[in-house]
Amino acid sequence: MTSGIPTGVPSPPSEPGRAAFLERAAGFTLRAPSAGDEQRWRHLYRQFAEHYTVAVRSEHQDLIWSWITDPAHPLSCLLAVDSAGVAQGLAHYRPFTRPLAGSVGCFLDDLLVDTEARGSAVADALLHGLRQLAADNGWTVVRWITADDNHRARSVYDAFATRTMWVTYDMTPGQLPDKLKGILG
């Protein structure tokens, strides 16, 4: 009997990525952010939040910046920097445990390309970089979610990864109903 739950490594496209964009992707350097990148990172992060119509508060950005610059925090950031030293895109990622697979994967929380740099292979560089980081760390998958109507991004993602059958849900934290008080030990 076979299970419908993927427990191992997904089947990637035969040649992950977009071959026509490899040369342009090679023009970017991928690296973790440094203190000098903070203002540019804030600019990119604001674009990301605005794309999803999420209000951007400086306290929120302060917190995220503190996470991605703290080597002990699980959230990391990969910047795609052009030849002039300007970050043109970012990827926030972190390891996550996969109990059914008995492994650890990489979860890509956010991928953003500056609006002025779209189509320049920044996303390709970041996704190729994440594939390498996953291999280097022994992670068995790089996983992310995107909006169903995000057609431009999905056209890139389809060249790198296999779309899964999973539907995601978000549940708001809250208190146990009175009848269930005491069930948590």
User: Computed over its alpha carbons, how large is the radius of gyration of the chain?
Assistant: 18
Averaged pLDDT score across all residues of the chain: 91
Task: Identify the pLDDT of residue 13.
Answer: 61
Task: Tell me the HSE value of 120 on the side-chain side, using a 13 A CA sphere.
Answer: 17
Burial of 61 (0-12, 13-18, 19+ CB in 10 A): middle
Rounded to two decimals, the pTM is 0.88
Give me the mean pLDDT over the 81-110 stretch: 97
Task: Identify the pLDDT of residue 3.
Answer: 46
Give me the mean pLDDT over the 49-60 stretch: 90
Give me the mean pLDDT over the 79-106 stretch: 97
What does each C-alpha distance from 65 to 36, 48, 81, 88, 157 come to in angstroms?
A: 12, 14, 17, 17, 26
* Six-digit token string for 170: 């978000």
User: Where is pLDDT greater, at 143 or 165?
Assistant: 143
Run of H or E including 154: helix 151-160
